[in-house]
Structure 1
Amino acid sequence: MHSRQDNKMTTQHNNQLSPEQPFNEVLELVQPMITSILLRCHIYKDYEYYRHIASIAVWEAWRKADQSKGTFSAYVYTNVKGEILKELSKEKGFENTHTPMDNDTINYIRDYEMGERSPVLLECIMSHLKFEERKILLLFYVEGYSYLEIAKELGLSVDAVKKRRTRIMIKLRKLLYSTVE
């Protein structure tokens, strides 16, 4: 993706790096390195957010640098890449555990993913849910109750209903994908 000329320029910039330089100068010199890391990590959306994460990582490296432990440019590179990978990992983990299916997703799965097997598959998946879990789904998706109405109906707090719905959606997703595969 990058030419040898780009790599030579990056190397030249890195050779000029020193923790004794002012931070703004260091940050300017490592911009090509940051761009390279972002591209290697396949970051194409939220680009500015990750560039910001990288800038903070450069600042941390600049602040904590110890030249007796190795070259400053290698330390900056490792720090930036590590922070970006850590953020990507956190983001992926959050998506996997906190993104419930919404009505459109449930309808899509019901209508398109399962096709003719839909009623049997849906019945099989629902049989793995507890009575209260099925009731929450019924009240929310079929009856159109709000969180407050469900909370009153079941004698729970609104927060408890929200948390249970999220857990139910995660459980459904796992059940669905294990059944469909």
Structure 2
Amino acid sequence: MKNMKFLVIAALAAIPPAAWAQPQSVEVTKAPGQATIKGTTRVTATVQNIDPATRSVLLKPQNGKIVEVQVGEEARNFDQLKVGDVVTAVYRQSLTLSLQKNVGATASTEEQPIMERAPEGGKPGGTVGRQVTIVADVVAVNPNSRTVTLKGPKGNTVDLKVEDPAQFANIKKGDQVQAVYTEALAISVEPAVKK
């Protein structure tokens, strides 16, 4: 988990904050008792300089502002990185809410890390992320405001407004909602294009 956090921090440092402001693509899907929203952001940068002694890399993203990134020992194949290589970072997020009827499960939270490193001898890269699953109880339904009150595993409550009348009509006190949140950051490196 420590390695994953370090890789995420290093990768995020290389990406300008404005790139995270708006996903480049957003997809929303609905079905009875379920809704999903997915967002993807892609940023590319060119390697400008590499300092093997400090394992720092200067990257120039499309906005032209050079960013310095420290690459930890956990990142394989640092010696394969070359000036001119193109680094691509793809950040994906998704949230799925599913209505569960008559399940009787206990409200719960579960988190699973996602980590994949580049193979030995190849270009640096990999994927880091996590998937969080929460099961919450529907403790109140307010038809006047079209809100649903959910009680989580730690006893905290949250009110959600349900805009879709068909979805709202299907929710009853005593139901459960399962929320699955996934986020992943994939970093890949392509060799410089030879001219």
- TM-score calculated relative to the size of structure 1: 0.25
Determine which structure has more spread, i.e. the larger CA radius of gyration.
Answer: 1
Bigger helix fraction: 1
